[in-house]
Amino acid sequence: MAGAADELSLVFQALADPTRRAIISRLRGGPTTVGELAEPFAMSRPAISQHLKVLERAGLIERTADAQWRRCTLRTEPLDEASAWVDRHRDEWNERFDLLDERLRELKGQTDA
């Protein structure tokens, strides 16, 4: 179980950065070269490469070499696992928020009286 939790941590850490989220969004359209991925960002190629390494380590992308082209492909399995984890906990979080809301209304009623 610790392995799965560690992998999930890598996914959430990778998704925490807006540049990496934008890269993932661009990859939804299909495999893309590193150069094409770098185009819209005002940063150096080494900086883009660092972001790609984080995404690759989290299992969110796969990089392949095809002649002189380096292509990146989105891997959705880690995103599916992260989504499933959130879904499993959503009911518990909503229940706790409902209880908190109820308690705050009780406290407000006590101060209004």
Per-residue confidence (pLDDT) for residue 66, from 0 to 100? 80
Report residues of the chain scoring pLDDT below 50: 1
Per-residue confidence (pLDDT) for residue 1, from 0 to 100? 47
How much is the pTM? 0.77
> Domain segments of the chain: what residues?
2-112
Query: How far from 25 is each of 21, 53, 60, CA to CA, in Å?
Result: 6, 16, 11
Q: What is the CATH number of domain 2-112?
A: 1.10.10.10
Per-residue confidence (pLDDT) for residue 109, from 0 to 100? 85
Per-residue confidence (pLDDT) for residue 2, from 0 to 100? 54
